[in-house]
Amino acid sequence: MSDRLAIPEAGLDHAEILNQLKSFREGDADWKAGRTWALVYYAGQAHADLIKQAHHLYFSENGLNPIAFSSLKRMETDVISMTASMLHAPPAAVGTMTSGGTESLLLAVKAYRDRARKLKPWIPRPEMVLPRSAHCAFDKAAHYFGVKARYAPIGADFRADPKAMRKLINRNTILLVASAPQYPQGVVDPVEDIAALARAHSLPLHIDACFGGFVLPWLERAGHAIPRWDFRVDGVTSISADIHKYGFAAKGASTLTYRDMSYLKHQFFVSTDWPGGIYASATIPGTRPGGPIAAAWAAMHAMGQTGYTDVAQVALDTARRLHAGIEAIDGIRPCALADAPVASYMSDSDDVDIYVVADQMTERGWEVSRQQGPPCVHMTVNANQAPVVDAYLDDLRAAVAWTRSHPEARKAGEAAMYGMMAKVPIRAFVKQSVLKVMESMYAPGVRGMPDLGKLGAGEGDDPLLRLVDKYGDQAMALLDKAQGAGARLKAAAEKLDPRR
């Protein structure tokens, strides 16, 4: 008989269920203590309690049918109106709430693809041009909707390079993309220059402000110089902004706002012949939970413009303290001075492998976001993290010192795996390896995550992951060489590019 879990024959006692649920959390990231620099956005317990209540009030309602639940449609309209005001949208602006940043980006790409099908039916294979730093949900959208993503290299300051983007525009281009800010380093792309490009080529321009849409306006209001990026820029046709990030709503709430209906109408879906009835839907899901809509409405009303501004200011101050502290540590440096409450750092010395530093910070109890291209660490900063800055910097100093005195550590644990993954020039191999990890995660009955650090040490069956364990430094050195050769080849190819 299989030992697969089944629904219990008789329902369990409610108190016991709740106890179990609480106990499951024991190994989770300790975000309330401020040790998690991503994933959770927090504006204090009183605010969290309010949005929980709001969510709870509309827990069962379903936005799928706005006639049955006109309350949800009303709140969605209010949320979009408040967002459009914040983004300086014209009076004709329209939009929808979505379940999150990814859905907003998927829908934007789908809408622009369908618009191009209508307006430019001669385009066989639509393409969008975006900076390499654009969120990977665009890649997902490209994959789902058959739009080719053409990535332009970014500048040394991590911002989009409009000249590099211009080179990728051709007769199949249907959309340009920029971020405000991009996630990895938190810098805002030069939207005014990219919008000029969009106008010159009569192309729509989507601004992905999923991450920063609910914080940059308030930093500007507080007097910070933020490069222009919203609807005040002529040529910006749509903006995505997540309320479940710096808008401090419950998870499952983003917005997608268009300059006018001529864009939004391509997002809609109508099925006319289903025996279940005529079915019209503005976004991807069928059933739309009411809770996140009500919680977003509550969050925006509770924070108010002054609340958002105060919290944004403290978050930015906290990020700037981290930035200054990182600058003062020998062996690492900040990647960039972010426009949003973000800090990020990379190695500044041959004897500091940033992935070993990351492993060391994990050991010291911090949740760490490892990034690539270049290898670095990302930190999304919230106001409630102001009290932990000194402790973080103390640990970071110690982690860098430890890394310097343990050169062998780059061959072990997650550092080895990330180091390897970042360097392998043929990305299809990396993809294969990650797919293998996903297969092991979703194998029957697997409840947690496989130990990534051990996958290379003979526990996984993926050849790439095992390679690093077996050949360690030799494999790394080979990959370094391959990367160098790759970069030289790319530079040579660029010189030969006739469009330059």
Ligand X SMILES: Cc1ncc(COP(=O)(O)O)c(C=O)c1O
Using CB under 6 A as the binding rule, whether residue 344 contacts ligand X is answered as: no
Task: Identify the three-state secondary structure at position 413.
Answer: helix
- Residue 254 CB, shortest distance to ligand X, in Å, is 6
Q: Near ligand X by CB under 6 A, which window of 97-105, 341-349, 385-393, 451-459?
A: 97-105
Q: Which is nearer to ligand X, 161 or 208 (CB)?
A: 208
Shortest distance, position 185 Cβ to ligand X, whole Å: 11
Q: Which stretch binds ligand X (CB under 6 A): 4-12, 18-26, 204-212, 369-377?
A: 204-212
Q: Is 127 left (phi over 0), alpha (psi -120 to 50) or beta?
A: beta
Closest CA to 192 of 222, 160, 164, 216: 160
Residue 171 makes CB contacts below 8 A (sequence gap 6+) with 123
Residue 208 engages ligand X in binding (rule: CB under 6 A):
yes
Are the C-beta atoms of 55 and 250 separated by less than 8 Å? yes
CB 302 within 8 A of CB 47: yes
Strands (DSSP E) contained in 306-384 are 332-334, 342-347, 369-371, 376-380
What's the CA gap between 254 and 240, in Å, rounded? 7
* Shortest reach from residue 107's CB to ligand X, in Å: 12
Candidates 69, 151, 211, 258: give the one binding ligand X (CB under 6 A): 211
* Tokens linked to 49: 């309690």
Rounded to a whole number of angstroms, the minimum distance from the CB of residue 136 to ligand X is 8
CB of 212 to ligand X, least distance (A): 7
Closer Cβ to ligand X, 137 or 356, answer by number: 137
Cβ count within 10 A of residue 106: 21
In the chain, how many H helices and how many E strands?
Answer: 16, 13
Spatial separation of the C-alpha atoms in residues 289 and 292, rounded to whole Å: 7
Q: Is residue 137 close enough to count as binding ligand X by CB under 6 A?
A: yes
Separation CA 357–CA 364 (nearest Å) = 11
Only segment of 101-109, 112-120, 294-302, 458-466 that touches ligand X (CB under 6 A)? 101-109
Q: Which is nearer to ligand X, 105 or 422 (CB)?
A: 105
Q: Buried b / exposed e across 384-407, counting CB within 10 Å, b at 16+?
A: bbbebbeebbebbbebbbbbbeee
Contacts of 258 (CB under 8 A, 6+ apart): 93, 94, 95, 111, 237, 238, 264
Q: Which position among 36, 173, 179, 403 is part of the footprint of ligand X (CB under 6 A)?
A: 179
**243 or 415: CB nearest ligand X:** 243
Give yes or no for a cis peptide into 181 (omega within 30° of 0).
yes
Count residues binding ligand X (CB under 6 A): 12
Residues 6 or more apart whose CB falls under 8 angstroms from that of 476 comprise 410, 411, 419, 420, 423, 468
Residue whose CB is less far from ligand X, 204 or 252: 252
> Looking only at residues 213 through 252 of this chain, which bind ligand X when binding is defined by CB under 6 A?
242
The one segment of 100-108, 153-161, 278-286, 428-436 that binds ligand X by CB under 6 A: 100-108
CB of 256 to ligand X, least distance (A): 11
43 vs 105, beta carbon nearer ligand X = 105
Q: By CB under 6 A, which span of 44-52, 207-215, 363-371, 390-398 interacts with ligand X?
A: 207-215
- C-beta closer to ligand X: residue 173 or 179: 179
Choose between 236 and 476: whose C-beta lies nearer to ligand X: 236
Query: How far from each other are the two terminal CA atoms of the chain, in whole angstroms?
Result: 67
User: Is residue 185 within the footprint of ligand X (CB under 6 A)?
Assistant: no
Local structure of 367: helix, strand or coil: strand
Residue 267 exposure: Cα atoms within 13 Å on the Cβ side: 25
Which range in 65-73, 206-214, 289-297, 308-316 contacts ligand X by CB under 6 A? 206-214
Q: Which of residues 287-306 bind ligand X (CB under 6 A)?
A: none
Stretch that binds ligand X, among 117-125, 203-211, 331-339, 359-367 (CB under 6 A): 203-211
The residue from 135, 166, 333, 378 that contacts ligand X (CB under 6 A) is 135
Q: For the purposes of burial, counting CB atoms within 10 Å of the CB of 54, is it exposed (0-12), middle (13-18) or buried (19 or more)? A: buried
Task: Work out how close the CB of 458 gets to ligand X at its nearest, in angstroms, rounded to a whole number.
Answer: 34
CB atoms within 10 A of CB 121: 8
Q: What is the DSSP letter of 64?
A: T
Nearer to ligand X, 141 or 464 (CB): 141
Q: Tell me the closest approach of the beta carbon of residue 497 to ligand X, in angstroms.
A: 29
Can you list the alpha helix ranges (DSSP code H) found in 210-340? 216-221, 261-264, 290-327
Cβ contact 331:351 at 8 Å: yes
Among 101, 204, 289, 419, binds ligand X (CB under 6 A): 101
Instruction: Select 342 or 399, whichever has its Cβ closest to ligand X.
Output: 342
- Least separation in angstroms between residue 137's CB and ligand X is 5
Asked if 102 interacts with ligand X (CB under 6 A), we say yes
Give the per-residue contact string, 52-91, with ligand X (x = CB under 6 A; - = no). ----------------------------------------
Residue closest to ligand X (Cβ):
101
Q: What residue ranges bind ligand X (CB under 6 A)?
A: 100-102, 105, 135, 137, 179, 183, 208, 210-211, 242
